[in-house]
Structure 1
Amino acid sequence: MKAGLLFVAGIAAAAAHPHRHQHPVKRQATDVNVVTVIDTVTAVEPSVIVSGQPPPAYSSSDAAPAPSSAPSSTPTPTSSSAPGADFSGYTLSYSPYNSDNSCKSQDQVNSDFNVISGYGMIRIYGTDCDQTATVLTAVKAKGMKLFAGVYDVNNVNAEVQQIVNAANGDWSNFHTVSIGNEGINNGAYSVDQVVSAIGTARSTLQAAGYTGNVVTVDTFVAMIANPELCQASDYAAANCHPFFDGGVSAEDAGQFVLGQAQRVSEACGGKDTMITETGWPSDGETNGKAVPSQDNQVAAVNSIRTAFSNNVVLFSAFNDKWKQNNPSTFGAEQYWGIYGDAP
């Protein structure tokens, strides 16, 4: 089985994770910690099983061997080489915003999807800019699945209704609907608020004919500290970004994420675990062993793909020039795009 989960630091503490990633909901000014990549992990007794073997425990202080680089015949996901690689088993996060923070049109979204069409699923974070409808149109045209999202837990009824309206009775391309993203890690909501919102959303979605997954997404630290989040979800959905740990090099990114995925699965009683964000920036400031560069982005994504053959959400499709940096983002907030700048 495969596991996926990438986020900052291998800490078991209940304190908020130091990861600082602003999320792609244009109309939200809140500083949200986020990193994107998805991988599904199935735990057995309760342990993640990868390639038939349970992975060893891993932390940033361990001298774990770096995964070997992918062979040259399998291009890594960079703006120049990614189009030739097979990413059909992976999910990619996507934000439909222009660099000036305006909403992308349907034609612009379609153009973006001509570049990223090789993925099996696309993750979005909210419903602003009518993005559920525009991205769903592009997803259907490319034969992909959609990981839709409600961004504001306090506005769950209205956002779920927008998703229902976009589906218009056809849920065949929907895989998951997430309720919130890192709201516990950021201190935006209480666990009770999020759990209640999941229940509200699930009831409304089921009444509209949806039978797929409903989850909340948070950092692996928040998920481990608050197993009620995964208990209320159809699977454990956790973000994991090795870059923000400071003790993990690009070559070790996959092993770091794999180790955190195992911890989440164990904390959630062996529940299936999906890594809903993970990646590496191509530019910015160095954070300990984590050095942002195009070469290291390639190395990190190769490492993640070596650890996970599928079921992981890679963060992110394109550089998000609409985002703003702060002291906690190491000047890298705009440079997580696997395919560079949007066309």
Structure 2
Amino acid sequence: MCERLTRSESGEQRDTVILAYVQHDLLGCKNRQITEAILKMLVDSDEVVQQYLCRLFNGFASLSVGRAYLGSYPELVQALQKTLTSDERDPITRENALGTLQKLSLKRHLQTCMIESGIISWLVQILEDSDALSDYTLEYSVALLMNLCLRTQGKKTCGPERGKVLKVLSDLLGHEDQEIRPYVNGTLYSILSVPEIRNEARAMGMEEILKCFVKEDSPEMNRQLQFIIKQLNSEIAMDDTDSDDEEEDDEEDQDQDAMEADLDKAEIINPRAGELVGEKLLTTEYLGIVTSARSQRGQEPSSRQGTAMNRESKVATPHEVLQRPSTRSGSRGSNRGDGHSRLGSASKDFECSQSMWQL
């Protein structure tokens, strides 16, 4: 099931797959009893089951249709956070739980769940030792932190630990993975709207730290740093009004959709020689049975009923770097060749952070 989603071609082919899964309620999000059983599997089942379930969640969350589907059951966030923060889970399971949460953070009501559960504090804690993190964990942790800190509630959450938060962010500015910089910058700019955090940043010499990262060959980063410094030196009181009550939809254009290759990495179940798996298993053992049954009833499958893997695919158009930041994973073959990077579905909120540099 997961392979059919992750290895389908971007465009109509993948859209057909995810729509079929959602319409048939594959994860039981429309049936509370089924969903509770699945979430119990996520927490209490065998390690292999947990890992592949998280891979499937991550695949769903990579697409706007899947995010809307998963977002209908907020309890999923709690289960994923329990999986993420548990030291007993294997690294791949935790990475997929993190990836799912970061993508679901496009949904405002799920952002609220995450903030209220205290995940910001956990993210700051693990980012203190960023060199010990995998690239995936580092990038998605920073992106998730920014998404949550763009909310007024998220900014306020950073207040009690402002010294720690500012130290972590200033250290990340100098991290060798420069692709996290826009997220670090966005987080800094956002939380510096809080007076007590701004005062703490001044006391620790944040302006001098920021100026150390100004480089002649990075005009875009320099421009962002200048706006952060301007925010740091401002005296504007924080607007306590959050936009939680706005009626406008928080959800995102379809150009946020991307399926990173990391979803298929480090497979722990390897088929034996000649054994049917994945799409071949589905089309040979199951699609063939359905087609045969139709023929016996004198029904020919219409073109609309054909397998999703046989549909004509549409190649996604590559997006601008700042909207879909590329990562160092590209050199490791993480891109699928459809113009999307591993953080391809990074967030609508990231686009908001870009626009704030224009203020």
Compute the TM-score of the two structures, normalised by the length of structure 1.
Answer: 0.29
Taking CA–CA contacts closer than 8 Å with sequence separation of 6 or more, which of the two structures ends up with the larger relative contact order? 1
Which structure has more strand as a fraction of its residues? 1
Which structure has the larger Rg over C-alpha atoms? 2
Compute the TM-score of the two structures, normalised by the length of structure 2.
Answer: 0.28
Which structure has more helix as a fraction of its residues? 2
